[in-house]
Amino acid sequence: MISVCFAALLIAFAAVPAQAQQTTVSLNTPELVQGSTVYATVEIDDVNNLDAGQFDLLFNPDVLKVVNVEEGSIEGTKIPVQWRSIDGDMLRVIFNLEGVTGISGSGQLARIGFEVIGDGESNLLISSGLLGNTEANQIDTNWGVTAAADVQKSTPGFGAVFALVGLIAVFCVVRFSRS
């Protein structure tokens, strides 16, 4: 009977899916000094089969002026970007890798050059981000830019697994107490 309970517990824990490494996109910005040109980098970590994507960069146009957007690179593969300014305070960046092989790893999606034209807060942040893989599916991504985006997510499935483990443990205790 002990072997049956042990086997049931083993099966229950084997059913728990391994937590996949989540793709993270973050914005790395240097110190802003009025009159200088600085480059903010949009960095990506742990992506699998990336094929295409887009994101918007919001900024304070009284402080920053976009002067250039350069392609990024992931594991040595260049990320060609296209961009356009929207409403003077937003920049939309899109990219699509050639072919359908995709790219995996970590690196930079783009480098954005800004001229620092004024004093004050830059209010630089990423919004409306979307990454797609080679199968035209959205890649689950932590954009890591605001406190609201850092809300803890519960991992689905653990509640049911732990309830099952508890039920098996109770069953085994009751069964052994009768013996």
Tens of pLDDT, residue by residue over 52-84, are: 999 999 999 999 999 999 999 999 999 999 999
Quick check: is 79 in a domain?
A: yes
Domain housing 60: 21-148
**Contact at 8 Å (CB) between 57 and 93?**
yes
Average pLDDT over residues 102-117: 96
CATH of residue 64: 2.60.40.680
Reported as a pLDDT band with limits 50, 70 and 90, residue 145 is low
Question: Within a domain: residue 83?
Answer: yes
Question: How many domains is the chain built from?
Answer: 1
C-alpha span between 172 and 155 (Å, rounded)? 27
Task: Give a yes or no: residue 43 inside a domain.
Answer: yes
What is the pLDDT confidence band of residue 158, given thresholds at 50, 70 and 90? very low
**Structure tokens that stand for 99 in this block:** 């072919």
Task: Give me the mean pLDDT over the 36-56 stretch.
Answer: 96
Task: Decide if 75 is inside a domain.
Answer: yes
Residue 11 lies inside a defined structural domain of this protein: no
On the 0-12 / 13-18 / 19+ scale of CB atoms within 10 A, 146 is exposed
Does residue 16 carry a pLDDT above 70?
A: no
| 100, 72 contact by CB (below 8 A) | no
**Higher-pLDDT residue of 137, 179:** 137
Which secondary structure element, helix H or strand E, spans residue 109, and what is its range?
A: strand 103-116
Determine, yes or no, domain membership for 179.
no
Percent of the chain with pLDDT over 90: 56
Q: Above 60 in pLDDT, residue 160?
A: no
Tokens of 98: 């050639």
> Which is it for the CA torsion 82, 132, 113, 126, positive or negative?
positive
Q: What is the pLDDT of residue 14?
A: 47
